[in-house]
Amino acid sequence: MIPRFKILFLIVGLIFGVHCRSARVGQAETLMGTLVEITAEGRDHKLVEARVALAFEEVRRVDRLISTFREDSELSRINRAAGVAPVQVSPEVLEAIERSLEVSRLSDGAFDISYAALGGLWDFSGEKPARVPEAAEIAARLKRVGWRRIQVDRSAGTVFLPEAGMRLDLGAIAKGYAVDRALAALKVPGVDRALVTAGGDLRAFTRPGEKPWRIGIQDPARRDRLLGELEIQNQAVATSGQYERFVEIQGRRYGHILDPRTGRPAEGVLGATVIASEAWEADAWATALLVLGPEQGIKLLPSPPGIEALIVDAKGRWHATPGLAGRIQPAPSPSVPFLFRL
């Protein structure tokens, strides 16, 4: 008979051996106009590598479906048919639009993918000389903004914008949605830990017993500094900030997140970070909070467990949901492997 301590030794050895043989694959690529980084760990290097490749393919696929920068995307087809006819779209595009509409409802219209009818009035590309649009121009465009007018027919699988000039843009949710799809490709037997980041959005996967991911939150006021660190296991984190894209007109900054109620860039919030179980939701709410501001934003944020937010207002003050305040560790270490921006 094998002595007990030998069995124990064998088990410990096996666990240790398996752990030591764990392979880590990390790759980065510029997709959807941002840096996408995917890291995964597991025993079988080949399997992990294949899964990481598949995850990148998922990001490319989502981009092809919903990017408004692509003429051939399904979203661009919906926009071209505004005021003309409903457009048949794939179930995923329908789903992304329906989720967006749900956030519009919950956020009192602060989040609105039809904001895009204002497109071009505010030019953040830097290609044209920047100017503040006239009030009358904004008012004319605002007539075509309104999430309630987006017609989704689930059974027919179509989306219709009833007036010419209406437009949809999923820029505020697309990266989160892509991160979710990429993570799904990694959440398979043989992968023990995974992290997908796309610009300000990320989602982690950690099998029970594995080490959590430690991430850093960048200070929106001082970009060379971290606000703090956070440990996550199976959650998503998204960050939005007006500083990400803006134009400067006569010494004043105008950010790329627009208030669909006024047609003007949202003001009052420097940055917002949201934690949720899925990245699309964190992404949508991070954008919504920029429009809503701290008080209203925290009030309207859905309350299922796991949804948390940190908002830094224009004066640099923090506003956090109770569940998050205690999770942020204020002393940032230089060894944080993943930084994302607040």
The answer to whether the beta carbons of residues 165 and 117 sit under 8 Å apart is yes
Q: Which residue has the tokens 């967006």?
A: 100
| Minimum separation from the CB atom of position 334 to ligand AMP (A) | 27
Of residues 52 and 217, the one with the C-beta less far from Mg ion:
217
Question: How far is C-alpha 293 from the geometric centre of its chain's CA atoms?
Answer: 18
Q: Which residue is nearest to ligand AMP (CB)?
A: 171
Of residues 191 and 198, the one with the C-beta less far from ligand AMP:
198
| Minimum separation from the CB atom of position 244 to ligand AMP (A) | 6
Distance CA 166, CA 155 (A): 23
**β-sheet bridge partners, residue 237:** 202, 275
Q: What are phi and psi of 333, to 5 degrees?
A: -100, 150
| Minimum separation from the CB atom of position 142 to Mg ion (A) | 21
Of residues 42 and 200, the one with the C-beta less far from ligand AMP:
200
Distance CA 121, CA 227 (A): 34
The answer to whether the beta carbons of residues 306 and 181 sit under 8 Å apart is no
User: Which two three-digit tokens encode residue 268?
Assistant: 């009052």
Q: Smallest Cα–Cα separation from 297: which of 311, 284, 317?
A: 311
Of residues 55 and 257, the one with the C-beta less far from ligand AMP:
257
- Our finding on whether 68 is near Mg ion (CB under 5 A) is no
Cβ-based neighbours of 178, under 8 Å, separated by 6 or more: 31, 32, 36, 58, 59, 62, 63, 198
Of residues 88 and 277, the one with the C-beta less far from Mg ion:
277
Q: Of these partners, ligand AMP, Mg ion, none, which one is at the site of residue 111 (CB under 5 to 8 Å by kind)? A: ligand AMP
Q: Of these partners, ligand AMP, Mg ion, none, which one is at the site of residue 257 (CB under 5 to 8 Å by kind)? A: ligand AMP
User: Which two three-digit tokens encode residue 52?
Assistant: 């990481």
- Our finding on whether 342 is near Mg ion (CB under 5 A) is no
Distance CA 152, CA 335 (A): 47
Q: Which residue has the tokens 């944080």?
A: 336
Among 287, 293, 307, 312, binds Mg ion (CB under 5 A): 287
| Minimum separation from the CB atom of position 74 to ligand AMP (A) | 17
Of residues 115 and 160, the one with the C-beta less far from Mg ion:
115
Q: Angle 279-292/91-106 helices, nearest 10 degrees?
A: 40
| Minimum separation from the CB atom of position 270 to ligand AMP (A) | 13
Q: Of these partners, ligand AMP, Mg ion, none, which one is at the site of residue 258 (CB under 5 to 8 Å by kind)? A: ligand AMP
- Our finding on whether 206 is near Mg ion (CB under 5 A) is no
Interface with ligand AMP by CB under 6 A: which residues? 111-113, 115, 169, 171-172, 240, 244-245, 256-258, 260, 283, 286-287, 291
Q: Which spans in 164-248 are helix H? A: 174-186
| Minimum separation from the CB atom of position 116 to ligand AMP (A) | 7
Of residues 191 and 286, the one with the C-beta less far from ligand AMP:
286
Q: Which residue is nearest to Mg ion (CB)?
A: 287
| Minimum separation from the CB atom of position 174 to Mg ion (A) | 8
- Using CB under 5 A as the binding rule, the residues of this chain from 237 to 266 that contact Mg ion are 240
The answer to whether the beta carbons of residues 79 and 168 sit under 8 Å apart is yes
Q: What are phi and psi of 150, to 5 degrees?
A: -75, 120
| Minimum separation from the CB atom of position 284 to Mg ion (A) | 6
- Our finding on whether 283 is near Mg ion (CB under 5 A) is yes
- Our finding on whether 172 is near Mg ion (CB under 5 A) is yes
| Minimum separation from the CB atom of position 213 to Mg ion (A) | 20
Q: What are phi and psi of 332, to 5 degrees?
A: -75, 135
Give burial (CB, 10 Å; 0-12/13-18/19+) of 119: middle
**Interface residue list for Mg ion (CB under 5 A):** 172, 240, 283, 286-287
